[in-house]
Amino acid sequence: MDILIIVYAVLSYLIGSIPSGLIIGKFFFNTDVRQYGSKNIGATNTYRVIGLKAALPVFLCDALKGAAGVVLLSPYGPMFMILGGILGMMGHNWSVFLGFKGGRGVATGLGVLIALSPIVALICFLVWGVIVYFTKLVSLGSIIAAALVPVLMYFTGESFWFVGFGGLAALFVIVRHWDNIKRLLAGNELKVERIKKD
């Protein structure tokens, strides 16, 4: 095996592990988003705690982390592109820099999806946006959009590897949202609204 594949695979995980929400919150806004709201480091909780001025760059950075893994391993074919994307998502979800804790992988997964299939990414993003707009429930939009990925990959004629990635990515997102699913069923899920820090 080409040694560069191993190097790029490790880099994909390490790049994914960079805690964008924590870095941007602490460095630019003197706020640890893990102390407030859902205590998550992702863009949604960053928005709740700090606002769009922090949430937007966190979202973009997290998406770029996912795309980076795909791009790094793209010279080696679809299977390795997917490996890079999955490792990026794993890094975000289980960051080596945060004691193997992390976010829920939605923005990072979107970055992977944009790099693999921009059309599917656009459809999923629009579905997510409509759901969030009407319900203010980011978790619900994320779960439904993630579940659509393998279906859309299949019906847009993407390769077996891409459909398989869609299924695995959807599983990642749903598992990471398990507590959210329980709150959704109980009717007490947090909505995407600004909160005041204690």
pTM of the shown model: 0.90
- Within 10 angstroms of residue 183's Cβ, the number of other Cβ atoms is 16
φ, ψ of residue 95 in degrees (nearest 5) = -75, 130
Cα distances from 147 to residues 25, 27, 52, 171, 175, in angstroms, run 30, 35, 26, 8, 12
What's the confidence (pLDDT) of residue 111?
Answer: 97
Q: What is the pLDDT along the chain (198 residues), one digit of tens a residue?
A: 689 999 999 999 999 999 999 999 999 999 999 999 888 899 989 998 999 999 999 999 999 999 999 999 999 999 999 999 999 999 999 999 999 998 888 999 999 999 999 999 999 999 999 999 999 999 999 999 999 999 999 999 999 999 999 999 999 899 989 999 999 999 998 887 766 554
What span, in angstroms and rounded, lies between the C-alpha atoms of 55 and 171? Answer: 25
How many helices (DSSP H) and strands (DSSP E) are in the chain? 10, 0
What's the confidence (pLDDT) of residue 103?
Answer: 87
